Structures are given as C-alpha cells and as structure tokens.
Chain A
Amino acid sequence: MPTSVTPNAAMEQRIRLFYFAVMVGFMIVAGRCAYLQFYENTKLKDIAARQQKKIVSIAGKRGTITDRNGHKLALDVRAYSIYVDPEYVEGSPQEMATQLSPVLAIPADKLEPLLAGKSWRYLKRKVDEAVMKQVKDLKLKGIGIITENRRVYPHDRLGASLIGFTNIDNQGLEGIEKSFDAYLQGGTEKVSILTDAHGNELLRTDGDLPFLTEKSKSNKVVLTIDENVQYLAERELQKGMDATKADRGVAIVMGLENGDLLALATNPVANPNEIATAGWSPHIKNWAVTDFYEPGSTMKIFTIAAALDAGKTSPDEVIACPTLIHVDRWPVHDHHQPPGRVRNLRPIEILEVSSNTGSSILGRRMSAEQHRNILQRFGFGTATHSGLNGEVGGILPKLPWAASRQSTVSFGQGIAVTPLQIVTAASAMVNRGIRVEPRIIDQIVSPDGKVIKAFPPIKSRTLSESSANAMLGMMQQVVESPKGTAHSAKIPGYVMGGKTGTADKVVNGRYNGDVMSSFVGVLPADNPKFVIFVLFDAPKTAHYASMTAVPVYKEIARNLITYYGLQPSRPDELKDYALAPAASISLPSQLPSPVNP
C-alpha cells in the first residue's frame, strides 16, 4: 500500500488506468457489434429470415367465372373456419359455449357437446373476418381458426342453374362449377409469412390482408353469357312465369355467329349463395340441358325442312291434308278440325295451322333412314358440345322405324329433345343451312393471362342453303302473316320469325293433359343474329304458345334490339309509330355485328 503523503496523486493515476480499462472494454464490445452488424450482417439476416419466415399452405382460391365482358359471376373470397381441438381445451365447455354462442350464432346447448367431445371438430365453417376476429379476441384455449375460401355468387340467382355451385370444400357440384372443376380448382397456395417464435403470423391488422393481395393461382373461366342479356332473359321469363303459372320455364338466347349462348335462364332457380345453409334444391338443376321433352309441333319445322332438303317437296307444293288419316291403323288427326275433311295446304300453311296430318304425310315421303339422318344432322339424339354439366342427348328412336313411328316423329311425338337441342337445330335453318353448336365457355384463361383452352365454334352444314332460306321464309310468315300463330310477336320495323310449339306433356308414360308450350324465334329474321327460345312447362292459364312463350319472346327481342342497337330493316313500318327513333330513318349500310363486336 502506498504510504506517500499524497495518496490522492497515486489514486488519480489508478483512476486513469481504470478509465482506460473501461474504454478498452467498451471498444471491444463496440468492435464485436460492428463485426456482427457489418461483416456478418448478410449471413445473420439470412438466418433470421430463415427462422422468421414460414411457408404456409393455404387453400388456393378457386378460379373465377366471368361473363363474356369479364364481369364476375362466381368468385372466391377469404373465409375462416372455427374448430375445436379438445386436446388443448382448458376450462369448462359450458363456459366456453356461453362465450362462443353469441359470436358464432349457434345456440350454446348445441355448442356444448361439440366442445366437450373427444375429437377435433369444426364449430362453424367459413365465417367472415369480423366473426373470426371476435373469436380470436375471446382467447379460448383449444379453439382454432383455419383460413379458407368461400365461393360467392355476387348476382345471387343470376345464371345460377348454368353456373352451378360448390360444396363447403369448394368442389364443384353442379353446372359450370362441376364440368370445369378441374380448371377451376385452386389447389393449395404456398404463401410466405413472417411469424414470431411461436409460429403466429405477424403484421396483420384490420386493413392489411396479405393473403388477399396474393394473385390467384387458378384459372379463369370466361363464359359466353352476357350478364345483361342473362338478366333480361331471366326477368322476362319471370314475368312469363307469373302470367302463365307454369311449373318451369326456360329462355335461351344464342348468337348465331359463333353459337355463343348469351343467356340461358331457367325458372324457378335457387340462390347458390344459400345452398350451403338452405340445403340442396332441385331448382339449381340446369334443366335446359338435363331434361328432355316431346317437342310436339315445334318438330314440324324440322320435318318440313328435312322434306325440303331431301327434295320431297317444295315451298309452293300444295298438299292435300285430310283432317284424319290412319297410319298403320293409328289415327292421326288435326286439332280442332272435324274428321273427314281435306285441306289443301302448302308447307308454310302446314306450319301456320300446325297440321299433324300434313307433317305426317311430308315426313313419310322420306325413307325412315333418310328422315332419321337429317334429324341427326340437326343434332337430335346427341348432346351438343356445350360442355354443360349433365347434358343429355334426348331420344331419337333407333331404326327401323315403323310407319307409325315415322309419322309421330314427324309431328314431334315419340322423339324427345332438350331445349338446347331445339335452339341448335333452329340455328341451322336461320343460318343458311349451317348449324352452329352452342358455346357456353368462351375461353379458359390461366392466372398469367394465357388462354389455356379455347372453344372454337363448331359449324356443320345441315341443310342446303335454298331449303334453309325457304324455312326461314316460312318462319317469318308465322310472325309476319296476320294468320300466323305468333303474329302477336311482331315488332314494327323488324322482321321477326319463329315457330310455336305446344306439345302434350308426358308424365310417367302418359299424357296428363298438361302441355309444354314453346316458341323458337329468330331475330331479325331478314339478317339472323339471334335465336331465342322460350319454353314453359305446364302453363296453367293458357296452353297455346301464342299466349305463353310468344309474349316472352317478344319482350326479350325488344330488349335485345335496344341492347345491341339493332337497326330496323323496315323503317316504313315505323311511320305510324309515335316513338319511331330518328336514327332509323337513315340506315347504315353495314350493321355492327352484335355478337362479337
């Protein structure tokens, strides 16, 4: 120990050394930190990222279904499923049930057995984010949340039977959802998230949904449907349903250029958004393709077209049609005509008065084989290439045909068709003899915008051009002629055409007195762009198509004219019309194509 008289001086020397040691010590620490933060920075950041980032697999979003203009008809949104894992449950199930019950809107006495159970269970599936957050805030042990996707149909019933629906696991069960399930399936998405050491995801606030900003990995299915045409078809069909009190109804609008189905409406139809809660409804079925019916007198135009095409008649031939004939001892008679009379009818008049005997005579002029071949060319007996789920081909009887069979087929009995087949077959007549297959899918687009599957139009020559034009002329007469059964469908300024059909309805192999009342029409008939088909199943207020389907056809046609801006081809008819559009006076020489603008 220093014993000098100036102990302070010695002490101060030691203090200097102490201060020096402190400096050195802290400089070493600073150097160490600098080494870590500069030299090892990248390496340590990598390690940090490796442990902080987690790749999670989440249920991929199912592909979107859009209409031809890209408007979404079905899409996936994020949803959350609440489950209970009894292994981690702490506390009494009773208490948990009372806490969860108001949040999940499930009665507590129903929740309790689930919470008290021994196995992993869902409590509620696909709830909104708000509910999920409330559940999270309860901080109950053993209650977990899974991120899933929920299918949403923003327009509710619009096109529901066509689009179909999915089950709770996002698998397509009906309609487009089912038939293109393979393309729409989202699979699983891998998403990188930041987590804390317990694996909980970070950086999630109310407005921040990193998952939703992720691009969907699934394909987009673009339909040929036009949302607006679909809407107006459904609207007019609903009006028709209300007026006729029919059991069911169908309205189809097809563009002739490519066979694009612009609307395919069925009625009644269930809301696909409520399928999960309300249960499966038979009304979700797209019966325009899944059900067939006896077309009845609608078939007569195809019989006459076949006879024309086979060269067995001409538009000007006058055929003697008795009101009652016997074919193989089976009587064939015309409605509302006393037996024992003979009417001289041209083919057009056979259509106009809807003569069964005339059709039978014309049909039987062909050999059964020839008759059946032409009907096959029209597409009867085989499903169209629309790709709709559950499409059937109808019934075209196999050869050999007895004379009576050929006779009944001629006026639409003993043959069964789907509404879509009628539309397809009609397209041949109004499209210069070329039948176009209906298209319902425009294209399937991959997430990066590439078209992975296109659906080119399928066209086939069915009739010679001359016989097709002759048929078109006859269809025009049905509307244009004051005697025609569909004269009420006439819209001034436009040439309309079509054919009514009223068929006895077969239920369990018997005609039960109900009818299938339909109208297949073309718009405009002088330059066909659309085929419009309206069918009512068992209308109660009126049987005849002129009272049931024709008004609906007229309204749809009127709306299409407005929607596509079709110019009147007979402006002189509009002279008496107070609301004649001024633009219709000077017509452009070339009309814009309404179907594929």
Chain B
Amino acid sequence: MSTPSMPPPNQPPLQALPSEESQPRRRYRAPAGPPGHVDFPLLNIILILVVIGLVSVFSASAHVAQTQMGDALHFVKRQTFGAALGLVAMLLALRVDVYKLPQWIKPLMYLTIVLLACTHLPGIGVTAKGSSRWVNLFGFVFQPSEIAKPILVLYLSSILGHPYYARYPLKQRLEMLAPVGAILGLVLFQPDLGSTIAIGGAVVVLYFVAGLPYWKFISLVSGAAVSVFILSWTTSYQKARITSWLDPWSDPQGTGYHLIQSMIAIGSGGFMGNGFGQSIQKLFYLPEQHTDFIFAVISEEFGFLGVLTLLGIFVWLAQRGVTIGFRSPTPYLKLMAIGLSSMVVSQAFINLAVVSGTIPTTGITLPFISFGSSSLIVNMAAMGLLLNVSRYMIRPSQSAAAPAAPPA
C-alpha cells in the first residue's frame, strides 16, 4: 500500500483480482485528522462505571480484606491505583492516531500470543485454582487474555475494515484468522472458557457487523455453541457446572454452592436492597465476592433498582458504541467502535448472566466493576480508543456540510 496512513495488513501486496478487475481502482484517502471532540456521554459512562467499581469493591471486599489482610482498604487501594493507571492508559489511547495503529498490530499480536503462551511457563506463568491465566513480569501480575481482547478487536477491525478485504481469496482470508484462532485456543486451554466465549463473542460480532452472510454467521455461531457444549460436556468440571446450573439444589454445598449463594444474595436484595454496605452474603458466603460475583453484592445492597441502573449503564455504553459505529466515517472505525464496545458489553453480559444464574457458571469478571487492576487498565485503555474513534464521528451538525458521509 502506498498510502502511508493505511499500511497493508499482513498480506502480500494485492494485485488485480479477477472479480474486481472491471471496477475502477479506488484509492484510500485518510480523513484529515480527527474533526471533533470525544463523545462526552461515553466519557461519563466510563467514569461512572469506574466510580461504581471502586465503591462496590470497597463494600464487597472490606470485611474480607480486614479479616485476611488486616486492612479493610487493601483491595480498594489497589483498585484505585489501577484506576489511576487506567486513566493514564485511557489518555494515551486517546492521543494515538487510530489510523496508524494497524502498523503496530503485527508485533502486538505476536506479543499477545507469546504472553498467552507464557502463562504456562514455569517461573513466569502463575497458576491458581487450576488454571494458568496470569503472567508475572518483573513483579507485575496480569492476565494476558485481558490484553488480548482489545488487540484482537484492533486486528480484526483493521483487517475486516480494510477496503480491499473482500477482494482477498478465501484461503488468505482464512489465513488471516490463524492468529485469532491461536489466541482463542491459548485462552481456552488456560483453561478460561469464560474469556474464550467473551473474545469469541467479540470476534463473531465483528464478523457479523462486517457483513458476514447470515447463513455463515448462523452456522458459525451454532458451530461454536455446539463445540463449546461438547467441550463442556466432555470435561468433568464443566459438565458439573452445567448440571449444577440446571439444578443447583442437588448439591448445595458442592457444585451448586456458587450459584445458590449468588441467587440468595440477589434475591434477598428485593426491590430497594439492604442498603450500601449491608450485604451479609459478602461475608464469606459468596465466593469471589469482590471479583466475579460482585454483581451479587451490588444486587443485595441496592436491590432491583440498583440492578436496573447497572444494566442501564451497560446498555447505555452499548448504545454509545453503536452510535459511534453508526456515525463513524469508515468501516475500520465502525468496526473498531462496535468491537471495543461489544468486547466490554459482551463480557458484562456473560458475567451478569452467570451471576444471576441465566447461563451456566464460568469464571469471568464484570468490566470496570470487579476487582482486578489489569482488567481495569485494559478496559479503560480500550475505552480510550473508543473515545478516540468517537472524535471522528460525523455529527448531525456536520452531516449537512458533508452529505456523502451520513448513514442511509
């Protein structure tokens, strides 16, 4: 590609394709810099979510931290530090030129895959509770699968959003999926089914929005669903999760414990909740009360009103992502907007569905809310990118001046 602002994806230079030969070759022109300001509602949503997260982590973890660490603020301090770093990451992501990002996607993808592989390396990888999800680099412990999400979104949107993507032969288009498959496979065999589904969900959403035909889309989703089910059914602990989801009361102290405690927490919240800090289930009844199951604590303390508020904020986030996608001028930006927002929203959906018992249990955190610095930093960086993208939005006031840009 000769355009400096849009370097080629990891493919050999394109020559004339038989099917496209008749069409005039259109040169890609980069828009001249971001025209507008960031999407302020989205900025508000992010800040609100971070604050809700800090407050909820405090409420959910204070007793545990006091009992186990002797410092009620142990987790809150770390989360606040994470939020501060996340803010820095968000501002950095806001400063980069999104059109130059694809230049870096190849080394980033390699780095991600290497990091994911490192989780299994003794010395660097950290294994806890039977899964190798963490990497310990110079004292910093983080989850490479968290980093993988936005990088994958970036990778796919730069490929799928490329104007000549459709001209590639199927074989090459499938080859482009190899690193995606590698990442999904590595995450799956950490094992981390929840993150795999969340990443896979974002991948599927990106392909769907990019215009994958419906029959392909449906067969892809159903194929994925069937394979996930088969995989689950053949793994003993995954099978136990499905059976305990179907009937948690058959083993209330064993496999059903997580779900039952979570349902008790949500159910005893009622309409108005017990009040902030008044959750009793967080006092060691709920497992992972400040990480995976923090939503149960919020439900118990703030009741159905709190649940609706939180769900509303995530839906609002999705709505902002969709709006940014709608109004972005190029497919690349559209895909990036949808990919980044769906990454957060789908993970939130899976977490909420798991905690409320809507789908079988799988370990996944609630973005922005659950305790976890690496997740918070990565999510805030991703939202920084989304804010960055939002600056290219064609706003209604501008649409009159540029009649070609607005959507149909």
Q: Residues on A close to B: CB < 8 A?
A: 1-3, 6-12, 14-19, 22-23, 25-26, 28-30, 32-34, 36-38, 40-41, 43-45, 47-48, 51-52, 139, 194, 196-198, 202
Complex A-B: 15 CB contacts under 8 Å: A2-B211, A7-B331, A8-B331, A11-B325, A14-B211, A16-B322, A22-B315, A29-B349, A30-B311, A33-B304, A41-B270, A44-B263, A44-B266, A196-B280, A196-B285
A253 to B283: give the CA distance in the assembly, Å. Answer: 61
A396 to B161: give the CA distance in the assembly, Å. Answer: 120
Contact (A14, B209) CB under 8 Å given A19-B322, A32-B358: yes
A197 / chain B contacts, CB cutoff of 8 Å = 283-285
Once the chains bind, are A9 and B209 in contact (CB under 8 Å)?
no
Once the chains bind, are A17 and B270 in contact (CB under 8 Å)?
no
A18 to B324: give the CA distance in the assembly, Å. Answer: 13
Smallest beta-carbon distance B299→chain A, Å: 6
Q: Pick the residue among B165, B211, B308, B356 that contacts A32 (CB under 8 A).
A: B356
Smallest beta-carbon distance A252→chain B, Å: 59
Closest to B356 in A: A32
Once the chains bind, are A37 and B349 in contact (CB under 8 Å)?
no
Nearest 3 interchain pairs by C-beta: A44-B267, A196-B283, A197-B284
Once the chains bind, are B208 and A14 in contact (CB under 8 Å)?
yes
B385 contacts chain A at the CB level, 8 A cutoff: no
Q: Pick the residue among A2, A16, A26 that contacts B315 (CB under 8 A).
A: A26
B264 contacts chain A at the CB level, 8 A cutoff: yes
Once the chains bind, are A32 and B357 in contact (CB under 8 Å)?
yes
Q: Pick the residue among A11, A40, A47 that contacts B331 (CB under 8 A).
A: A11
Smallest beta-carbon distance B131→chain A, Å: 24
Smallest beta-carbon distance B204→chain A, Å: 10
B107 / chain A contacts, CB cutoff of 8 Å = none
Tally of B interface residues using CB under 8 Å: 53
Number of A-B pairs, beta carbon distance below 8 Å: 143
Once the chains bind, are B212 and A1 in contact (CB under 8 Å)?
yes
Smallest beta-carbon distance B10→chain A, Å: 19
Smallest beta-carbon distance A26→chain B, Å: 5
Once the chains bind, are B284 and A17 in contact (CB under 8 Å)?
no
A233 to B124: give the CA distance in the assembly, Å. Answer: 85
Contact (A48, B322) CB under 8 Å given A3-B166, A12-B408, A34-B304: no
A197 to B67: give the CA distance in the assembly, Å. Answer: 12
Once the chains bind, are B267 and A18 in contact (CB under 8 Å)?
no
Smallest beta-carbon distance A377→chain B, Å: 71
Once the chains bind, are B353 and A29 in contact (CB under 8 Å)?
yes
B270 / chain A contacts, CB cutoff of 8 Å = 37-38, 41, 45
Q: Pick the residue among B208, B268, B308, B353 that contacts A45 (CB under 8 A).
A: B268
Once the chains bind, are B208 and A18 in contact (CB under 8 Å)?
yes
A45 to B209: give the CA distance in the assembly, Å. Answer: 43
B213 contacts chain A at the CB level, 8 A cutoff: yes
Once the chains bind, are A38 and B271 in contact (CB under 8 Å)?
yes
Once the chains bind, are A36 and B280 in contact (CB under 8 Å)?
no
A553 to B331: give the CA distance in the assembly, Å. Answer: 113
Closest to A31 in B: B358
B149 contacts chain A at the CB level, 8 A cutoff: no
Give a binary string over B313-344; 1 marks a CB under 8 Å from any A CB, 0 the rest. Answer: 01100110010011000010011001000100
Smallest beta-carbon distance A123→chain B, Å: 23
Q: Pick the residue among B208, B268, B356 that contacts A33 (CB under 8 A).
A: B356
Additional A-B contact list (13), CB under 8 Å, known A18-B205, A18-B209: A8-B408, A11-B334, A12-B326, A12-B407, A14-B208, A22-B315, A23-B318, A30-B311, A33-B307, A40-B263, A45-B268, A48-B265, A48-B267
A7 to B164: give the CA distance in the assembly, Å. Answer: 12
Once the chains bind, are B267 and A202 in contact (CB under 8 Å)?
no
A35 to B6: give the CA distance in the assembly, Å. Answer: 50
Give a binary string over B61-82; 1 marks a CB under 8 Å from any A CB, 0 the rest. Answer: 0010000001000000000000
A33 to B349: give the CA distance in the assembly, Å. Answer: 13
Once the chains bind, are A36 and B356 in contact (CB under 8 Å)?
yes
A323 to B407: give the CA distance in the assembly, Å. Answer: 142
B345 contacts chain A at the CB level, 8 A cutoff: yes
Smallest beta-carbon distance A96→chain B, Å: 17
B260 / chain A contacts, CB cutoff of 8 Å = 47
A23 to B349: give the CA distance in the assembly, Å. Answer: 10
B299 / chain A contacts, CB cutoff of 8 Å = 33, 37
A434 to B267: give the CA distance in the assembly, Å. Answer: 75
B283 / chain A contacts, CB cutoff of 8 Å = 196-197, 202
Q: Residues on B close to A: CB < 8 A?
A: 63, 70, 165-166, 205, 208-213, 260, 263-271, 280-281, 283-285, 299, 303-304, 307-308, 311, 314-315, 318-319, 322, 325-326, 331, 334-335, 338, 342, 345, 349, 352-353, 356-358, 407-408
A51 to B253: give the CA distance in the assembly, Å. Answer: 12
A10 / chain B contacts, CB cutoff of 8 Å = 211
Smallest beta-carbon distance A154→chain B, Å: 38
Q: DSSP class of A's interface residues: helix, strand, loop or mixed?
A: helix
A404 to B268: give the CA distance in the assembly, Å. Answer: 91
B211 / chain A contacts, CB cutoff of 8 Å = 1-2, 7, 10-11, 14
Q: Pick the residue among B280, B303, B331 that contacts A194 (CB under 8 A).
A: B280
Q: Max chain B CB contacts within 10 Å: which of A7, A29, A198?
A: A29
Closest to B267 in A: A44
A9 / chain B contacts, CB cutoff of 8 Å = 407-408
Once the chains bind, are A196 and B407 in contact (CB under 8 Å)?
no
Once the chains bind, are A44 and B264 in contact (CB under 8 Å)?
yes
Smallest beta-carbon distance A30→chain B, Å: 5
A33 / chain B contacts, CB cutoff of 8 Å = 266, 299, 304, 307, 356
Contact (A37, B407) CB under 8 Å given A22-B349, A44-B263: no
Once the chains bind, are A48 and B208 in contact (CB under 8 Å)?
no
A362 to B408: give the CA distance in the assembly, Å. Answer: 137
A30 to B353: give the CA distance in the assembly, Å. Answer: 9
Once the chains bind, are A18 and B322 in contact (CB under 8 Å)?
yes
A38 to B304: give the CA distance in the assembly, Å. Answer: 9
A196 / chain B contacts, CB cutoff of 8 Å = 63, 280, 283-285
Smallest beta-carbon distance A99→chain B, Å: 15
A392 to B80: give the CA distance in the assembly, Å. Answer: 78
Q: Max chain A CB contacts within 10 Å: which of B166, B280, B315, B335?
A: B280
Smallest beta-carbon distance A380→chain B, Å: 69
Smallest beta-carbon distance A29→chain B, Å: 5
A48 to B304: give the CA distance in the assembly, Å. Answer: 17
B357 / chain A contacts, CB cutoff of 8 Å = 32, 36
A7 / chain B contacts, CB cutoff of 8 Å = 211, 331
Smallest beta-carbon distance A134→chain B, Å: 16
Once the chains bind, are B267 and A43 in contact (CB under 8 Å)?
yes
Once the chains bind, are A19 and B319 in contact (CB under 8 Å)?
yes
Q: Max chain A CB contacts within 10 Å: which of B210, B268, B283?
A: B268
A33 to B267: give the CA distance in the assembly, Å. Answer: 8
Once the chains bind, are A44 and B358 in contact (CB under 8 Å)?
no
Smallest beta-carbon distance B59→chain A, Å: 14
Once the chains bind, are A23 and B281 in contact (CB under 8 Å)?
no
Contact (A40, B267) CB under 8 Å given A12-B408, A15-B325, A197-B285: yes
Q: Pick the residue among A16, A18, A41, A194 that contacts B268 (CB under 8 A).
A: A41
Closest to B265 in A: A48
A198 to B266: give the CA distance in the assembly, Å. Answer: 21
Closest to A8 in B: B407
Contact (A11, B358) CB under 8 Å given A44-B267, A202-B280: no
B210 / chain A contacts, CB cutoff of 8 Å = 1, 11, 14
A48 to B408: give the CA distance in the assembly, Å. Answer: 54
Once the chains bind, are A29 and B322 in contact (CB under 8 Å)?
no
Closest to A139 in B: B70
A10 to B213: give the CA distance in the assembly, Å. Answer: 11
Contact (A41, B267) CB under 8 Å given A1-B166, A19-B322, A30-B311: yes
Once the chains bind, are A23 and B212 in contact (CB under 8 Å)?
no
Closest to B260 in A: A47
A442 to B70: give the CA distance in the assembly, Å. Answer: 54
A30 / chain B contacts, CB cutoff of 8 Å = 307-308, 311
Closest to A39 in B: B267
Closest to A19 in B: B322
A203 to B335: give the CA distance in the assembly, Å. Answer: 52
Once the chains bind, are A47 and B303 in contact (CB under 8 Å)?
no
